[in-house]
Chain A
Amino acid sequence: MNEPGTAARAALPQAGQFALELNAVSRHFGALVAMADIDMTVRAGERRAVLGSNGAGKTTLFNAITGDYPPTSGRVRLFGEDVTYLPVHERIRRGLRRTYQISLLFSGLTVIENIFLACRGVGRGRHSLFRPRRDDGAMEMAETLLHAVHLDDRRDTPVAELSHGQQRQLEVALALSGAPRLILFDEPAAGLSPSERGDLVEILQSLPPHVGFILIEHDMDVALRVAERVTMMHNGRIFKQGTPDEIESDPEVQELYLGHGDNGGGRA
């Protein structure tokens, strides 16, 4: 793969060390080419930011990786395994997680029930007819995550009643459940208050080193603070890849993206 800067890590990674490998991945919606010929690798434990204006194909990239909308051509490998034709839930069980740009939560269930399901979903006993006990492993993990995203006092609140920011935090909690190895965050900071953003950055920075993530984020402060490498997308293609410094100082990037100011956030 033609990524500069791999020298930063000691040796060229072996196939097994890649969390994610995309080979010529494209996605069409009818005549619309939302994403074309994406080649991209993410090492295990790597923290990557994906930037690009609205409609650049960032969310489509995530959908292709998770299988929400599988690629129309190309191959997706997760942790060395070809998952191009695996259903979504099988990819998740292999350690992939994601959040959604627009919160997708279970509005009829409480906060703790949402998180509990996420923890149980990747474990055993999904079909248990018993109510979870307090000392159930998944329930204990759910309580920990509840605390981590600062929703302790909303534990038994139906999700429909949460504020926007709280729903975003719950999205993050769901993505941290189980034993994630690669997490895809789709604009997790959108609509958050500055203090909530701070909390989010803290959570991202405190993830264990073996947990990699890809972060779509319009807020350059957040993105460049937590990312080791940056991928810039434009019109469904990869436009630039590099370290945050390289990207920030690249004249073409300045022209195309930074020059337009913050044009993100408001779009569905």
Chain B
Amino acid sequence: MFRIERKSGRYPLGINPAALLVVVFLIAYPMFASDFFTFQVGAYPLILGTIALSLTMLAGYGGMVSIAQMTVAGFAAYIVAILGTNSVGVMGLGWPWWLTVIVAILGAALLSTFIGAISARTEGIYTIMITLAIAVAFFYFVRQNYQIFNGFTGFAGIEPPTLFGVYWRDPTPFYYLTLAIAAFFYFAVRYGSRSTFGLGLQAVRDNPRRVRALGINVFLHRVVAYFYAGIIAGTAGVLLVWFNGRVSPGIVGVDMAIDILVIAVVGGMRAPIGPFLGAIAFVLLENFAIDLIDRERFNTVIGLAFLLVVLFSPDGLLGLWRRMESRIRLPRANARWGVRANRDDWHPAGSPERM
């Protein structure tokens, strides 16, 4: 695979100039982008990317493809609407925002743990089927339950708090909020991939049988991974309901669940930056493909893009980017990406090494 030595002492102060450029761009972005671009093209992909990151963690590092990560995020979104305030007149218990947020994230993490406990004894296609079944069941449940989830209509009028004199749903502060949270989880996953737990998770992916023979409880390891993935997806779910201002069954429907899968796969599951690349591509397509084709055809475009990426680059945009770089001259840039490729050197689902 991408074999490049992993020492990265080649940059002054050990800082990679391209990464620095990206950071500067991300921080400066709202200063030159319009409100629409800051909110819809800036904050939204960061939220979707964070949800997809939770899937990348499970699938890329743990070998567990869960379709239900959107369900977990959506559950957090619902909890915010139910425990906090909404304009629908159903539930809206008016809890303080911080308590609502904590309960929403922990609730999502518990749901994720529960999903993990149900599915962690299965492998491959069976994990996909079980988590898909859970996602579909949850969708129909919230759509039919009017007492708590307000059924088909769902909830509207959900607002982030006004704190420090800032209305956090204004595009610029909201963008920075999502950027901070996305960056936090990005670095957490990146760091965690080489933690004891993270190494164990990748070992479980590579060879569960051998992991048992090292004294590690594979089932427990998987379930704990679902818990952490639930924290990530749940936090993103809170951002999502603040972003939309509303939540309805559509958000936990199969369409959205598949979108998250597409984002993670198209972006590339070999490194935690993948889901964010996928999310940006997805949102750009969603916003601008509409100008070229009918709204109804959007899914066709997404489907085609998905097919192309899966066919031509099993490790997504990330892999495409790396391959281009190594073909075209930039040996230095190649080395830079190679460091990551090397550190997270894992095999996308379906590659022969994993069989």
Could you say which of A105, A122, A126, A161 has the most chain B C-beta atoms within 10 Å of its C-beta?
A126
User: Is B207 engaged at the interface, CB distance under 8 Å to the other chain?
Assistant: yes
Question: A85: shortest Cβ distance to chain B, in Å?
Answer: 15
The CA of A108 and the CA of B353, in the complex, are separated in Å by 9
Question: What A residues does B192 contact at CB under 8 A?
Answer: 129
Given A117-B211, A117-B216, A122-B215, 12 extra CB contacts under 8 A: A66-B213, A89-B213, A98-B213, A104-B210, A106-B202, A107-B207, A108-B205, A117-B203, A129-B197, A158-B1, A158-B3, A160-B1
Question: What B residues does A118 contact at CB under 8 A?
Answer: 214
Report, nearest first, the 5 A-B pairs whose CB atoms are least far apart.
Answer: A121-B214, A92-B215, A88-B212, A121-B215, A104-B210
Question: What B residues does A160 contact at CB under 8 A?
Answer: 1, 345, 353
Question: A22: shortest Cβ distance to chain B, in Å?
Answer: 19
Question: A232: shortest Cβ distance to chain B, in Å?
Answer: 26
Could you say which of A87, A98, A108, A113 has the most chain B C-beta atoms within 10 Å of its C-beta?
A108
The CA of A107 and the CA of B297, in the complex, are separated in Å by 42
B-to-A contact residues, CB < 8 Å: 1, 3, 6, 191-192, 194-200, 202-203, 205-207, 209-218, 221, 224, 342, 345-347, 353
Nearest A residue to B7, CB-CB: A156
Which A residues between 143 and 176 are near B, CB-CB below 8 angstroms? 156, 158, 160-161, 174
Could you list 24 A-B pairs, sorted by A, with CB under 8 Å? A87-B212, A89-B212, A89-B215, A92-B213, A98-B213, A100-B213, A105-B210, A107-B206, A107-B347, A108-B202, A108-B206, A108-B353, A109-B206, A117-B199, A120-B196, A122-B215, A126-B196, A126-B217, A126-B221, A127-B224, A130-B195, A130-B196, A131-B194, A160-B1
Which A residues between 225 and 256 are near B, CB-CB below 8 angstroms? none
Nearest B residue to A119, CB-CB: B214
User: Is A177 engaged at the interface, CB distance under 8 Å to the other chain?
Assistant: yes
The CA of A154 and the CA of B312, in the complex, are separated in Å by 33
Question: What A residues does B347 contact at CB under 8 A?
Answer: 107-108
How many residues from A make CB contacts under 8 Å with B? 39
User: Is A30 engaged at the interface, CB distance under 8 Å to the other chain?
Assistant: no
The CA of A186 and the CA of B77, in the complex, are separated in Å by 52
User: Is A79 engaged at the interface, CB distance under 8 Å to the other chain?
Assistant: no
Question: A131: shortest Cβ distance to chain B, in Å?
Answer: 5
**Residues B213 and A106 in contact, CB atoms below 8 Å apart:** no
The CA of A158 and the CA of B353, in the complex, are separated in Å by 13
**Residues A158 and B221 in contact, CB atoms below 8 Å apart:** no
Question: What A residues does B195 contact at CB under 8 A?
Answer: 128-132
**Residues A126 and B203 in contact, CB atoms below 8 Å apart:** no
**Residues A109 and B203 in contact, CB atoms below 8 Å apart:** yes
Question: What A residues does B346 contact at CB under 8 A?
Answer: 108
User: Is A213 engaged at the interface, CB distance under 8 Å to the other chain?
Assistant: no
**Residues B206 and A117 in contact, CB atoms below 8 Å apart:** no
Could you say which of A98, A118, A122 has the most chain B C-beta atoms within 10 Å of its C-beta?
A118
**Residues B6 and A177 in contact, CB atoms below 8 Å apart:** no
Question: What B residues does A114 contact at CB under 8 A?
Answer: 203
**Residues B206 and A89 in contact, CB atoms below 8 Å apart:** no
Question: What B residues does A105 contact at CB under 8 A?
Answer: 206-207, 210
Question: B204: shortest Cβ distance to chain A, in Å?
Answer: 9
Which A residues between 69 and 99 are near B, CB-CB below 8 angstroms? 87-89, 92-93, 97-98
Question: What B residues does A93 contact at CB under 8 A?
Answer: 215
The CA of A100 and the CA of B346, in the complex, are separated in Å by 22
User: Is A116 engaged at the interface, CB distance under 8 Å to the other chain?
Assistant: yes
A106-B203, A161-B3 known; A126 vs B216 contact (CB < 8 Å): yes
**Residues B203 and A127 in contact, CB atoms below 8 Å apart:** no
Could you say which of B198, B213, B217 has the most chain A C-beta atoms within 10 Å of its C-beta?
B213
Question: What A residues does B215 contact at CB under 8 A?
Answer: 89, 92-93, 121-122, 178
**Residues B202 and A127 in contact, CB atoms below 8 Å apart:** no
Question: What B residues does A125 contact at CB under 8 A?
Answer: 196
**Residues A121 and B206 in contact, CB atoms below 8 Å apart:** no
**Residues B209 and A104 in contact, CB atoms below 8 Å apart:** yes
Question: What A residues does B211 contact at CB under 8 A?
Answer: 117, 121
Question: A95: shortest Cβ distance to chain B, in Å?
Answer: 10
Question: What A residues does B202 contact at CB under 8 A?
Answer: 106, 108-109
